[in-house]
Amino acid sequence: MQSVAAFIIVLGVLIAFHELGHFLVAKLMGMGVKTYSLGFGPKVFGKRYGQTEYRLSWIPLGGYVSLVGEREDDQLEEGFTAREHFNRRPAWQRTLVILAGPVFNVILAWLIFWGLFWAQGMYEPLPVIGRVQEESPAAAAGIMKGDRILTVNGKEIDTWSDLSNTISASNGTEVTLTIERGDETITKALKPKLMTRPNLFGEDEKSYLIGIVGSGDHRVVPVSGGSAAVLSIERTWDYISLTVQGFAKLIERAIPLDTVGGPIMIAQLVSQQAQQGFGNLLALTALISVNLAIINLLPIPVLDGGHILFLIIEMIRRKPVSPRVQEMTFRVGFVLLITLMLLATYNDIARIFGGS
């Protein structure tokens, strides 16, 4: 029950923040908002404040903001002026309203990382060896589990990243390591070897390595509010970059389609991270929020990116794309989206029954 509750809360927060972006920018532009709903389908309950009804609906896999005059052929509605109608506003204003949803998902990720860095500090993996691979340069040099690398060629090594980057940059020339082993400080000389290892996307890449694996030991560095804000921008950008690269790899077929996951996989991940702690759950929420933003910006009709594409064309042509073309492309986009959802769900079920 805790896992189900965590999944519903995470999904609810992501949807609420996405739709809040559309809602706030529409209000800022003076557009009329009829409904702000969390969930689809019949409403569980609703409350009207001013001209807007705020409601909770039965199907939790989404949400929506209903604006006055979203369709070009909508009539002037009672209680609203012509200026409040969405489709009677300039294309750039409509674009900002649609773009606001994905942007707010990115902002949510940034806020989460800011809070995590500020509250928990920054984790820095230490250059402590957890395992030495057999028949590697490190094994041949007598490097052992538990050794801590202090310097490489006299350069001070403070974190595991320092060690990894320095070894990789050696280009295979001999390096001298100063090692802390218990109460001793010893020196080892060895030549990094060009080896193959998988990257984040499972692709093989070559790099100069010495055959060691980190122990996972780390230290926590306190971070001020200002520094946390900057670090959270960097982390959010890293997630955006990795997500975009991931989509590109899928298109290139460098990543197999069976790695695509859907709601079941998300629920499983949320459940696992909820059991690991609140901080882990928040970090996963930020990652999903970035993914949601990028997915919504894909130029597929029925997604925000598809609407934005039509509005960009309208601004270039100085007239809207014909309703017939829009309707045809939306049908194609809907079929494509349903196909992707079915594929993701199939993969989720296959992973469950495959034991992975």
| Residue 158 to residue 135: CA distance in whole angstroms | 27
| Residue 277 to residue 205: CA distance in whole angstroms | 33
Q: What is the three-class DSSP state of 221? A: strand
Is the separation of the CB atoms in 132 and 143 below 8 Å? yes
The DSSP 8-state label assigned to residue 115 in this structure reads: H
Is the separation of the CB atoms in 148 and 127 below 8 Å? yes
Is the separation of the CB atoms in 147 and 160 below 8 Å? no
| Residue 94 to residue 138: CA distance in whole angstroms | 60
**Phi then psi dihedrals of residue 165, to 5 deg:** -65, -40
Is the separation of the CB atoms in 80 and 68 below 8 Å? yes
Active site residue 19: yes
Is the separation of the CB atoms in 300 and 306 below 8 Å? yes
Question: Catalytic pick from 19, 180, 203, 252?
Answer: 19
Q: How far is CA 169 from CA 36, 152, 175, 192, 200, in A?
A: 54, 11, 11, 10, 20
Phi-psi region for residue 39, left (φ > 0), alpha (ψ -120 to 50) or beta?
A: left
| Residue 96 to residue 213: CA distance in whole angstroms | 47
| Residue 148 to residue 212: CA distance in whole angstroms | 11
Strands (E) in the chain, as ranges, are 33-49, 52-67, 122-125, 129-132, 148-152, 155-156, 175-181, 184-190, 193-198, 204-209, 212-214, 218-221
Q: Using alpha carbons, select from 17, 2, 8, 21 the residue that is nearest to residue 58.
A: 8
> Catalytic residue numbers?
19
